[in-house]
Each structure stands twice: as structure tokens, then as C-alpha cells.
A and B are shown apart, each in its own frame.
Chain A
């Protein structure tokens, strides 16, 4: 049961956190917007359900990487819960990004050895 709300590709939890933080770099957004943005940018590759965002968002909030507030949307007369990146969140994003880069490079070096090494 629990598997259904995880992204189909088995997105690692930390990666989802990173993606959310990166999305919020553009400015405050509510849950639906964050979900849509990730889906659109990955061309629906991740095929995740919106729902899986919320436990992650609340976890990030518990860690003080984001803050949230109910605000009226600029385009319509309704309140949404907007998430904002905090200063610690910004730092965390840098950390996660560099970790991800290191891993991706490590994996890449194994999978596609470059000419100069061979």
C-alpha cells in the first residue's frame, strides 16, 4: 500500500526533498504548484502523486528548512498554504546538491568510463 504514494521510479526520499527545495528557490509556492512544477519539468517522468509531497513538505517544515503560511493567491480569490524557503533551507539545498552531484559523477564514472582514463 505504502508504495503507491512513492514516485514510481522509486525516487529516493532525500532526492524529493532536494527537488522541493530547488523548486522553492524560484519563490513561494503551494503544494499543488510544487507538484505540477516537478511533473512538468521532468516531463512526467517521475509520475508522482501530489500526495507524496505533503509528508515531505511537513518534514522539511519540522526541520525549519521551509516555513508555511496561508495566503490569498494572486490570480484568484482563494487562500492556499504557501511554502517559503528559509535561510537554513537554502544552505541545505547547497549541501544536498553537491552530494547529489558527487554521487551522480561517481555513478557516471562507473557507467561510462571516459576516454582519458581508459
Chain B
């Protein structure tokens, strides 16, 4: 039977029973009984109609659901009778569940979701490892060997990101994010085109390779979903390309958090970045076996394990490395050490069902810390609502006694209470989902700012909704169990007695425990938030070796605008900018400060001869322009910095940092020493060290001191360049003058990444800021909830002790003493909470150690401040109840008693 027919069936049954009764009555009267006696007899003959109906309902098979509906109806009625309680509980729960759901939706999107491709669990990422480092780059010949010779992979694909590619559509140009992909990229992933076609293996070998596939978002934002998109011509870095298709809307590339606007075949590298491709030379990217520039993924054949696939790829890879090593012969950077380095590489397969791991690595720890924080917040929420429910259960003691007296089973009573709790939980959950929807976007905004802007979609999908539902029911069970369990201990006869408060004391004991628990957890959260906030402040205050304020950064890309020789342009930009009023000095560098580019390159320093078999120490090489250190205000220890005279044609020079000088030369003066960089630009000649500077944090504030070698960028010109401009005024105010000057020199020159150095530093601590600001928000929320909980408990205590307070006052207790009594009780609760919370925080803060900067996990100042804050909050929460206690009128109190 369908459940919606129950009402009709019930009416039917009633009519059926009635007709039976009437028939029986008629028969009895025919037998000679009086009207009343006949009715009586008929009723006896039929039996208990209510019971019959109940048993018939059981026969229909929907009885448990009918009982649930009954419980629900009753629960709704109960909650509507006390809207204040219901709204408070739902809001508190909504905040807790909403916070948890919002954070979970981010975790789901950033850490858990698999790629929207066919059978993502079969995907693996190939790593190129040696005993020291883990690389993810392979050469094109190596990739081809792996792809063609593997018997365990169903397919392999290679790609390389193309950052800031200049796209010109209908005469308007802009910067986009792109990638070079192997012909197998889309077929192996199983990603289809919704317009036109994707790039195919035939494109990879085609001589004419000027085809481009665009992402759905790019199609939507840039072409307004133009249906005639296929066949449209665009310029990529000034080279003509033709759009052949649009990918599915779900597909954002294999790197979660990054977007891919355009994809071009691998061999298009020759047209979009000819300098890099070096087509036709011995270092041609498409033929040089030693040039590792491609990221490689593979799809395992069905039934093949990752280990087995790795074992079968190893010989292919080893052979490729021998070829790569041999292919160095005759090149300037060839040396036994470099050759040996290639032979040490091994291939490793990592699971890649969720795409490449960089986003997961970046946000794994921060997001789980925040999840732990909201978990604790949720516990506080539960304790708060449990306390509210307890207070209500006390008020409902009489109702429970009546129901027990009328024969309600204890099981049924507990179920009724749990139904009410779950109803509260689910209502809170609905509110929570609403809050989470709004909150997850604000959270995402915190992640998005940063050096590598994160592009994530955080939909409220089934996983997230399922999580919210599970959390709602779970919290309801947690906070609902205590009052439900206590309800069954009500004694009907005593409960019905006049003015009887059987378990007020008991209720208070449970309530106090809950409040102590809340204080303890809030303390953990506040201490954690304090540690993280102070770390962030330390990071922001940290001196990175340069002066971070009043520097404007911007980048240009002259190659795109068609420049062959960039040095005159840069010199012109520098001289024009330097003469702007308010600008003190300016300098170019290939990378902007605190960008993530690291070039680990082996160098050799004259003097300390490498011993047999030594792996050359890699150092980071940064090409910088003249007056760089003056602009950055970094101290020069010895010698000089680069000048405009360090250019093509003058003797090659270099500057080292203190760490590098110490590493290679100890205390010896490095000035005048020679250094050589084999394997870099194919030039193994010796250059002279002309200066030594202080260490600066160039990639990351947390990095340990790196060995740095600076080269004059006018001697080794590269395409793109960043400019640092030291201003005397606020860099934002100088911005329009500076950019206007650049535009006046060449309006076609793309200018991007304009920001102040301060902002750049702030962006470099995006994970830290994410965790710190979220734990601050949730810590404050925890404090607020604890405050409410404490207030509720003290107010209730004072209320139920009005009579006692009246007696005390009648016996001569002063009002101050009564107030002190209330404060004293609060202090006791606070002390108990701290006694649990402080050790718990000491334990928990150890997990934060890796996130902290400039202070220890057990930092006493943070602990003291947090405890003091907690105490202030507790006292504030008990102020009103204490005042009420002190203002009790003894006469009135005793009269009501």
C-alpha cells in the first residue's frame, strides 16, 4: 500500500468497524435487549476499536513511519511553542554546521575531488627522481620512448604550462594561461570537445601546428559562447593560430586550482616561444634528449598495478637516460659529473586520480588544521545546544511525568526527544548549508589571492550536501542524547507532585560539566588562533633582507611586442622612470621578488676543487639589473653591485650572497674569484665575482638561506622582465606615473603583475593568512558561544536558587557577597576549564609547529593572553546573573517559596 493512502484507508476502516457495530447492535436488539444494553453488548462483542485500528495499521506495514510522523508532528508543535529556544538553537547549530560544511566544501574541491575525466583512478603522474631531488620534468625524446615502448600504460601524455601567453583576438590582446599538450593529451584523459575537435595525435607530428583548443570558460568570457568559434583566427604571442575546438565545461586541466584558457600542440613551442624552442639547434626542445621540460602523466592499463607499471617503465627510462647522457657529447656543458647526474635519475609513478599534487601539497595542512578547528567549534555548538535542551527538559519534567503516567514507553519517550533533536539538527543544517554556500566563496577568496591564483569551483554538490546532512544528524545525536537519556529517569509520581524540581541539582551538574568542556575547547581554539595570528604578524614584520615598503613592481614582456634586443628598451625604461619625481631608483630583474621560480644549477668555484665523485652543489641563479640592491635596499658586504656598464661586450661578472661565499670559500674574500656555470646556457666560461651581498629571502619568507649567484641581466638578456621601483611616496600613488611612462615608450608593450612589494609579500603568505584568519573567526565564534553557554547556566542557577538567596539575604548576607558568590562559581568553572584546556592546547599546538613562524608552539605570552581573554569573557557572561542575584528581594523570594 502507498503511504499517502493511509488516511483514506483509515476512514474506510472506521466505517467498516462502525457497520459491524451497527449490525451487532441490531441483532442484539432483535434478541430482545434494550437500546442501551444492546449497544453495550455490541461494543463488547466487537472489542477495543482503538486497539483494532492500531493493529490494522501494523498490518498495513507503515506503522514505524506513522509513529515517526507522529513524533515529528509533536516535535514541530513543541518547538513552535517555544520559538525563542528553537531560533537560538537553530542559529547556533547553523553557525557550527555552516562553518564545517564551508570548510569541507573547500577540502572536497581542493583535496578530495578526482579529475572530471574518464576513469581518473587509472591516472599516474611520472616523476624523475635522483637521490637528492624530485623533478617532474622529462625530455621530449624520453616521453616518446615511454609512450611508445611501454606495455603497461594504456597511454601517456605530456604537457607544459604556458604562463602569461599573449592572445590577440580581433585586434585586442590580453594575457591568458595556456598549455602545450602532446597529441595524446585529450584522448588519453578522455576529455571531449563540445565544439569542433580536441588536439589529436596527428597534430603532434604535423608540420603545420598552428591549431588551438580553448577552455569552456575562456569561450564563455572571451567569446560569449559564440557558436561560430571553430575556424576563428587568433594570434598567440604574435603567431597566427586557428581555433579548432572548445573543451567540456568541467575540464580545467590536470592541475587542480589552475585554469587552462588555451591548449596548443607541443611542437607549437617553436612559434609561441622560439627562444625556448631553439628549433634546429643542438638544444632543440623537440629533439634534445637532455632537456627536461615536459610534465608526463600516464593511464594504467586495466588490472595493472602502479608498482608493476613502474617496474616495466624503469628499463625504458634507464635506456632513455643513457641516451640523454650520451647526447651531451661535444656540448660546452658536457662533463663526467653532468653525465653521471643523468644516469642517477629513476622514474617513479605517483597516483594522479585527483590531478597533479601541487595544490594539495600547498593547502593540505592548512585546510586540515581549519577542519580540526571547525570540528572543535562544532563540539562547542553541541555542548551549547545540549545545555539549552537540558534546561528545557527540566521545564518539561511535568509533561514527561504525565506521558509516563499515561503509559508511554520509555523507549518511545527517548525516541520522541531524539526526534526533536534531529529536527533541530536538520533545521540547523539547512541554515548551515545556506551559510556555507556564502561562506565557501569568502573562504575561496582568501585562497585565491596569492602568487599562484587558485581557480576552484566549489559547488554545493551531493558530496557536500551529504556531508552537511551527516554532520547535522550526528550533532543532533550528540547533543540530543544527554537530555533524552535523562528524560527516562523522571519518576511519574514525584514529577507530578506540586512544585517538585527533582533533578535541578543533577541538571546543573551536567550543565556545569558541559560549560567546563566548552571553556576548555574555546581555550584550545583561542590559543591556536593566537599562535597563528602572532606567526602571521611575525611574518609580516620579518625583515627579508630588503626593505619591503615603498616599492612598486611591474612586469613587461617585450618578446611578445616583437623586440629582438631588449637591453636598449630596458635602459630607456630605467632612465625614464628614474627621472619621475618621487622615484628614487629602479632596477629590472628576470623574476619578481618572492616569485616561486627557482633555478637550481650546478656551479664550480675556482679554488676549492671538487673531489672525485662530488655532485656539484646547485645554487640558485638570478639575473638582475644595475642598482638592484640599491633599489631593494639590501646591504652590500663587499665589492660592488652591477652597473649599466655590465652589459654585452664587457667582461662577465657575478655577485654572490653571503651563504654562497661561506659555503665555497669559508672566510676567504670572494671578490676577484672566478666561478663557472656549466650546464647553463651552454656556457662554461669563467666569470669574475665582483660583489658579495647579504642573504635575502627571494622565493619564500620561510626558506632557509639559499646559495645565490646573481648575474647581470644585460649580459644574459632574457625575454620577460620584472621591474622594481623604489619610491619616496606611496607606491600606489606613483603607479599611474610609472606605468604611463612605460606606455609612452611603447604602447604595444604588455605590462602586467602590477603591485607593491608589500602586497607581493602578503600574497606569499596566503596559506598562513588563510589559516590564521579562519582560526581567528572561529576562535571568536567559540568564545561567543561559550559566553552564551556560561550566561545561560549562571542565569539558570541564579533563577533556581532565588529562594536560597532570599533566605541568605534575610539572614543578613550583603548584596556584594551574593554577587561574589555567583562570580566565585564562574571562576571555579573557569579554573576547571583552564585546567583541562591549557594542557590540551599544549598538546594540540604541537601540530601547528610547522605553520608557526618566530615563536614556539608553547609560547607563554599567547597562552597568558588567551587565558586572560577567556577570564574577561567569563566574568562578562556572569555579570548579569550576578546583578540579578544581588538584586533579589528577600521578601518576595521567600513568599514565592
Instruction: List A residues at the B interface (Cβ < 8 Å).
Output: 1-2, 4-5, 30-32, 35, 49-52, 54-56, 58-59, 62, 78-81
Determine if B24 and A5 form an interchain contact, defined as CB atoms under 8 angstroms apart. no
Determine if B56 and A55 form an interchain contact, defined as CB atoms under 8 angstroms apart. yes
Complex alpha-carbon distance, A60 and B24, angstroms: 23
Q: Provide the residues of chain B in CB contact with A35, threshold 8 Å.
A: 20
| A1 with B51, Cβ < 8 A, contacts A49-B46, A50-B45 known | yes
For the complex of A and B, list the 4 residue pairs with the smallest distance between their C-beta atoms, beginning with the closest.
A51-B47, A49-B47, A55-B55, A59-B59
Complex alpha-carbon distance, A59 and B56, angstroms: 7
Contact of A81 among B16, B47, B49, B60 (CB under 8 A): B16
Taken residue by residue from 55 to 93, chain B's Cβ proximity to chain A (1 for < 8 Å, 0 otherwise) reads as: 110111100000000000000000000000000000000
Complex alpha-carbon distance, A81 and B18, angstroms: 11
Contact of B58 among A1, A55, A80, A81 (CB under 8 A): A55
CB distance from A53 to the nearest CB of B (A): 9
Taken residue by residue from 26 to 68, chain B's Cβ proximity to chain A (1 for < 8 Å, 0 otherwise) reads as: 0000000000000000001111110110011011110000000
Q: Provide the residues of chain A in CB contact with B52, threshold 8 Å.
A: 5, 51-52, 54-55
Complex alpha-carbon distance, A112 and B59, angstroms: 38
| A32 with B51, Cβ < 8 A, contacts A55-B56, A58-B60 known | no
Determine if B19 and A32 form an interchain contact, defined as CB atoms under 8 angstroms apart. yes
Determine if A51 and B46 form an interchain contact, defined as CB atoms under 8 angstroms apart. yes
Contact of A62 among B23, B44, B45, B60 (CB under 8 A): B60
B13 close to A (CB within 8 Å): yes
Complex alpha-carbon distance, A78 and B12, angstroms: 15
A-B contact pairs, 14 of them (CB 8 A): A4-B51, A5-B52, A30-B19, A30-B20, A32-B23, A50-B46, A50-B47, A51-B49, A54-B17, A55-B55, A58-B59, A78-B19, A79-B19, A81-B15
CB distance from B172 to the nearest CB of A (A): 73
Give chain B interface residues in 830-876, CB to chain A under 8 Å: none
Given A50-B20, A50-B46, A81-B12, 8 further pairs, Cβ under 8 A: A5-B48, A32-B20, A51-B47, A51-B52, A55-B58, A62-B61, A81-B15, A81-B16
Determine if B19 and A81 form an interchain contact, defined as CB atoms under 8 angstroms apart. yes
Q: Provide the residues of chain B in CB contact with A80, threshold 8 Å.
A: 19
Q: Provide the residues of chain B in CB contact with A55, threshold 8 Å.
A: 52, 55-56, 58-59
Q: Provide the residues of chain A in CB contact with B48, threshold 8 Å.
A: 1, 4-5, 51
B1 close to A (CB within 8 Å): yes
Instruction: List B residues at the A interface (Cβ < 8 Å).
Output: 1, 12-13, 15-17, 19-20, 23-24, 44-49, 51-52, 55-56, 58-61
Complex alpha-carbon distance, A51 and B52, angstroms: 6
Q: Provide the residues of chain A in CB contact with B19, threshold 8 Å.
A: 30, 32, 78-81
Determine if B16 and A49 form an interchain contact, defined as CB atoms under 8 angstroms apart. no
CB distance from B65 to the nearest CB of A (A): 15
Complex alpha-carbon distance, A79 and B15, angstroms: 10
CB distance from B211 to the nearest CB of A (A): 66
CB distance from B392 to the nearest CB of A (A): 32
Determine if B51 and A5 form an interchain contact, defined as CB atoms under 8 angstroms apart. yes
Q: Provide the residues of chain A in CB contact with B49, threshold 8 Å.
A: 51
Q: Provide the residues of chain B in CB contact with A49, threshold 8 Å.
A: 44-47
Q: Provide the residues of chain B in CB contact with A81, threshold 8 Å.
A: 12, 15-16, 19
Smallest Cβ-Cβ distance to A2: which chain B residue: B51
Q: Provide the residues of chain A in CB contact with B59, threshold 8 Å.
A: 55-56, 58-59, 62
- Scoring B13, B15, B16, B48 by chain A CB atoms within 10 A of each residue's CB, the highest score goes to B16
Q: Provide the residues of chain A in CB contact with B20, threshold 8 Å.
A: 30-32, 35, 50
- Scoring A32, A62, A81 by chain B CB atoms within 10 A of each residue's CB, the highest score goes to A32
Q: Provide the residues of chain B in CB contact with A79, threshold 8 Å.
A: 19
Q: Provide the residues of chain A in CB contact with B61, threshold 8 Å.
A: 62
Determine if A54 and B1 form an interchain contact, defined as CB atoms under 8 angstroms apart. no
CB distance from B48 to the nearest CB of A (A): 6
| A58 with B51, Cβ < 8 A, contacts A50-B24, A51-B46, A81-B19 known | no
Complex alpha-carbon distance, A2 and B55, angstroms: 9
CB distance from B576 to the nearest CB of A (A): 92
Complex alpha-carbon distance, A81 and B14, angstroms: 11
Complex alpha-carbon distance, A4 and B50, angstroms: 13
Complex alpha-carbon distance, A56 and B17, angstroms: 13
Determine if B47 and A62 form an interchain contact, defined as CB atoms under 8 angstroms apart. no
Q: Provide the residues of chain B in CB contact with A62, threshold 8 Å.
A: 1, 59-61
Smallest Cβ-Cβ distance to B19: which chain A residue: A80
Complex alpha-carbon distance, A80 and B47, angstroms: 19
Smallest Cβ-Cβ distance to B407: which chain A residue: A1
Complex alpha-carbon distance, A63 and B44, angstroms: 29
- Scoring A2, A5, A35, A50 by chain B CB atoms within 10 A of each residue's CB, the highest score goes to A50
Complex alpha-carbon distance, A80 and B18, angstroms: 10
Smallest Cβ-Cβ distance to A39: which chain B residue: B45
Smallest Cβ-Cβ distance to A50: which chain B residue: B46
Q: Provide the residues of chain B in CB contact with A78, threshold 8 Å.
A: 19
CB distance from A115 to the nearest CB of B (A): 45
Complex alpha-carbon distance, A72 and B60, angstroms: 26
CB distance from B859 to the nearest CB of A (A): 68
Determine if B16 and A31 form an interchain contact, defined as CB atoms under 8 angstroms apart. yes
Smallest Cβ-Cβ distance to B9: which chain A residue: A58
CB distance from A32 to the nearest CB of B (A): 5
Contact of A54 among B16, B23, B44, B45 (CB under 8 A): B16
Q: Provide the residues of chain B in CB contact with A5, threshold 8 Å.
A: 47-48, 51-52, 55
Q: Provide the residues of chain B in CB contact with A32, threshold 8 Å.
A: 19-20, 23-24
Complex alpha-carbon distance, A47 and B55, angstroms: 19
Q: Provide the residues of chain A in CB contact with B58, threshold 8 Å.
A: 55
Q: Provide the residues of chain A in CB contact with B12, threshold 8 Å.
A: 81
CB distance from B272 to the nearest CB of A (A): 73
Complex alpha-carbon distance, A78 and B51, angstroms: 26
Smallest Cβ-Cβ distance to A51: which chain B residue: B47
Complex alpha-carbon distance, A80 and B44, angstroms: 21
CB distance from A58 to the nearest CB of B (A): 4
| A52 with B60, Cβ < 8 A, contacts A58-B13, A81-B19 known | no
CB distance from B798 to the nearest CB of A (A): 47
CB distance from B19 to the nearest CB of A (A): 6
Determine if A51 and B17 form an interchain contact, defined as CB atoms under 8 angstroms apart. yes
- Scoring B45, B47, B51 by chain A CB atoms within 10 A of each residue's CB, the highest score goes to B47
Determine if B13 and A54 form an interchain contact, defined as CB atoms under 8 angstroms apart. yes
CB distance from A86 to the nearest CB of B (A): 16
Q: Provide the residues of chain A in CB contact with B15, threshold 8 Å.
A: 81
Complex alpha-carbon distance, A31 and B12, angstroms: 13
Complex alpha-carbon distance, A49 and B46, angstroms: 5
Complex alpha-carbon distance, A59 and B61, angstroms: 9
Complex alpha-carbon distance, A49 and B691, angstroms: 111
Complex alpha-carbon distance, A68 and B775, angstroms: 66
Determine if A52 and B47 form an interchain contact, defined as CB atoms under 8 angstroms apart. yes
CB distance from B18 to the nearest CB of A (A): 11
Q: Provide the residues of chain A in CB contact with B55, threshold 8 Å.
A: 2, 5, 54-55
CB distance from B183 to the nearest CB of A (A): 63
CB distance from B8 to the nearest CB of A (A): 12
CB distance from A50 to the nearest CB of B (A): 5
CB distance from B52 to the nearest CB of A (A): 4
CB distance from A54 to the nearest CB of B (A): 5
Complex alpha-carbon distance, A27 and B548, angstroms: 100
Q: Provide the residues of chain A in CB contact with B13, threshold 8 Å.
A: 54, 58
Q: Provide the residues of chain B in CB contact with A51, threshold 8 Å.
A: 17, 46-49, 51-52
Smallest Cβ-Cβ distance to A60: which chain B residue: B59
Complex alpha-carbon distance, A43 and B712, angstroms: 119
Q: Provide the residues of chain B in CB contact with A4, threshold 8 Å.
A: 47-48, 51
Q: Provide the residues of chain B in CB contact with A52, threshold 8 Å.
A: 47, 52
- Scoring B20, B58, B61 by chain A CB atoms within 10 A of each residue's CB, the highest score goes to B20
Complex alpha-carbon distance, A59 and B59, angstroms: 5
- Scoring A2, A79, A81 by chain B CB atoms within 10 A of each residue's CB, the highest score goes to A81
Complex alpha-carbon distance, A81 and B17, angstroms: 10
Smallest Cβ-Cβ distance to B20: which chain A residue: A32
Q: Provide the residues of chain B in CB contact with A58, threshold 8 Å.
A: 13, 56, 59-60
Complex alpha-carbon distance, A51 and B45, angstroms: 8
Q: Provide the residues of chain A in CB contact with B56, threshold 8 Å.
A: 54-55, 58
Smallest Cβ-Cβ distance to B52: which chain A residue: A51
